[in-house]
Chains A and B, each alone.
Chain A
Amino acid sequence: MRYLARRGGIFLITLWAALTVNFAIPRIMPGNEAAAVLSTFRGVNPAAEHALEIEFGTNVHHSLISSYFSYLGNCFSGQFGSNALGESVVHAIASAMPWTLGLVGVTTVIAFMIGTLVGIFSAWSRGGKLDGLLPPFLFIISTLPVFFVGLLLLYVFSVKLGWLPLSGNYDIGSTPGLSLAFAWDVFKHALLPGISLVIVTAGLWVYSMRNNMVTTIAEDYVKMARAKGLSNARIMYDYAARNAILPNLTGFAMQLGYVLGGSILVEYLFSYPGLGYQFYTATTDHDLPMMQGLFLFYTLAVLVCVLVADLVTAVIDPRTREA
């Protein structure tokens, strides 16, 4: 229980830190940048302009502390203001979310499965051909910038071969709906961004999984399982891999922050209209409320996943429950 209480504490503190970063950024940024933000909103949306003036402290009616608390109150009641187009930030994020969630969710699961399996097998056949080549190769691949992998794929499959679309989430001509044709269209558009993310993230799992697995294989209980005459598959999955995967579960959640970051680059490159593309447009448009809302959303997404991973770890690993 102490384990979960501690993790819950980290959850709250991180959330508070993200909110505070959001609050602090407009106050520490140089004046001309603040002016750029304000000029974006001037005339478009008087309410948003007023809210921003308060945030920058240019409209000094409140003390720093009282505006900090009213800001925190607004966030907890879900009031994140409206973006440069006058649309509510919550609404804008909700409309783009499914695209990113689909892309990041599916690619993370695929990358995790590929990486973990390769890690298990190369640790099991340690010293073999597979083990000597695959983990270092995938590790080097995983250090490539995701946009570079995307650029190469985009060039080969879209520009040169013309097999896959250059950008967007579905053809302008097709009508969204639950038809097979539309699903295929969406799949085609998501394929290259998705593959770029998988290529870059799978290697990270291989590395940590192999290292954990090498350590667990040397444990006495694995020898014991061998002495009992259990089958290789049973030893590999139920004895060694089950324990080796534990640190990776927490890593899984942490890694989500990295993948979400990667999705910003990939969505920008492929003009894929998800959260990352919104984040990019918000930075070029000086749309501060949108950037703050998205940053908070990203942090919250990672936090929820970390919390879920902690719960799962507590279920799988009895040691954490006692500690």
Chain B
Amino acid sequence: MPGSELEAPDSGARAARRRELPRLLKAITTSRKATIGTLILLVIVFVAAFPGLIAPDNPQAISYTPNAGVSWSHVLGTTSLGQDVFSQLLWSTRQTLIVTLLVSAIATFLSTFVGVTAAYLGGVADRAITIVTDVFLILPVLPLLILLAAYLPPGVTSLTIVLCITSWAFQARQLRAQGLSLRNRDFLVSAKVRGERSLYIIFAEIVPTMTSLLAASFLSLAVYVVGFAASLQFLGLGNSGQLMWGTMLYNAQQQSALESGNIWWELAPGFAVALLGAGFALLNYAFDEIGNPALRPVKKKRAARRSLPRRSRP
């Protein structure tokens, strides 16, 4: 699981915030992983926003020969009902992306709130919150997700809720560790002396110094949400009428698309899920390298001079 302890910024909240944006842009353009990840995500966002521009057909219209093979009019074939697979794939992007971003945002918020609160309060509250977090870390995620999803009405809302419940714990632990390292900084002590409320200190003073860690949390959550959402739907715990990649996979699997030769119906949404996950993962990997200089790839020349970690003896 990706994750790193980021170096705490030296100065207060505002200075840290000013440095974030240029750093982010520089990071995206200098790291090849980040550039590829950003490009993948941009393409997917574009498709999600304007599927109608590219898609040749109404995704739900049952107007063609069922299981028609790949041809110029149907680049990915048709479903067993006679819908155009390519159009379904494009139109499914929107809902899939919305669920991923929504769950990742909510879970990032939850984990920030839980983790930073624990670190800020300390004492008994910290210990209690830590125990709850540990419990959620140990409970096996997918079985828990299935158990919850199986008994809620199938659909996007249930999917969002169960994914949020199960995905915050890991990041909460990381953010708590970061929060602990900030605890005795001058700007926090002075905020306390000014008599600010705890909630204000947490969200206006501590959280803004963690922007890069929050971005990393969001990205690694997104990677997992993409996979788990598709997995749940693949198992039939989604609403098969809603246009999402996971439900396409489910419908194709139910009709044994692979065995019957209609392979792109099942493989194309699989590739799409993998691509979205990879986009987030690449960005996340690049982010970790930026946050933790020890993990950055070293240039050959410099590495040779610092002979220690190298295989050749000095």
Contact = CB atoms under 8 A, between A and B. Distances in A.
Interface stretch (A45-53, A68-76, A255-263): A255-263
Nearest to A207: B2
A145 to B, nearest CB: 4
Tell me if B's interface is mostly helix, strand, loop or mixed: helix
Given A30-B152, A148-B274, A217 B259 contact: no
Interface stretch (B91-99, B207-215, B303-311): B303-311
B259 A214 contact: no
B280 to A, nearest CB: 8
18 contacts: A14-B138, A14-B139, A25-B147, A30-B152, A127-B303, A131-B297, A140-B285, A144-B227, A145-B227, A145-B230, A151-B266, A166-B259, A214-B294, A214-B295, A257-B141, A258-B140, A261-B140, A299-B138
A232 B311 contact: yes
Interface centre among A18, A144, A204, A254 (most CB of B within 10 A): A144
A264 B234 CA distance: 11
A268 interface: yes
Contacts of A147: 230-231, 234, 249, 270
A265 to B, nearest CB: 6
Contacts of A268: 234-235
B258 A298 contact: no
Interface of A: 9-10, 13-14, 17-18, 21, 25-26, 29-30, 32-33, 123-127, 131-132, 136, 139-140, 143-148, 151-152, 154-155, 159, 166, 204, 207-208, 211, 214-215, 217-218, 222-223, 226, 232, 251, 254, 256-258, 260-262, 264-265, 268-269, 279-280, 283-284, 286, 291-292, 294-295, 298-299, 302-303, 306
Interface string B123-141: 0000000010011011111
A10 B131 CA distance: 7
A124 B299 CA distance: 15
Contacts of B280: 143
Which 8 pairs from chain A and chain B are nearest by CB?
Answer: A261-B142, A257-B140, A127-B303, A29-B151, A127-B298, A148-B270, A143-B281, A283-B150
Interface in B131-170: 131, 134-135, 137-144, 146-148, 150-153
Given A143-B278, A145-B273, A303-B138, A211 B4 contact: yes
Contacts of A223: 308
Contact of B139 (A33, A132, A155, A299): A299
A152 B131 contact: no
Contacts of A294: 143
A155 B271 CA distance: 14
A136 B75 CA distance: 32
B202 interface: no
Contacts, number: 181
Interface string B211-242: 00000000000010011001100111100000
A155 B263 contact: yes
A283 B258 CA distance: 24
Nearest to A126: B309
Given A127-B298, A217-B309, A283-B237, A139 B2 contact: yes
A145 B308 contact: no
B308 A139 contact: no
A152 B263 CA distance: 10
Most B Cβ at <10 Å: residue of A29, A140, A303? A140
B235 A17 contact: no
Contacts of A146: 231
Given A143-B223, A145-B226, A265-B234, 16 more contacts: A33-B152, A126-B298, A143-B278, A145-B227, A145-B231, A145-B273, A148-B273, A154-B258, A155-B263, A166-B259, A257-B138, A264-B142, A265-B142, A283-B235, A291-B147, A302-B139
A24 to B, nearest CB: 10
A123 B295 CA distance: 9
Interface string B166-181: 0000000000000000
B309 A140 contact: no
A25 B143 CA distance: 13
Nearest to A253: B138
Contacts of B183: none
A265 B258 contact: no
Contact of A33 (B137, B151, B292): B151
Given A140-B282, A144-B277, A145-B230, A132 B235 contact: no
Residue from B150, B223, B234 with most neighbouring chain A CB atoms (10 Å): B150
A311 to B, nearest CB: 16
A140 B140 contact: no
Nearest to A145: B227
A18 B298 CA distance: 45
Nearest to A32: B153
Contacts of B313: 232
Given A217-B308, A261-B142, A140 B278 contact: yes
Contacts of B266: 151
B33 interface: yes
A302 B148 contact: no
A21 B144 contact: yes
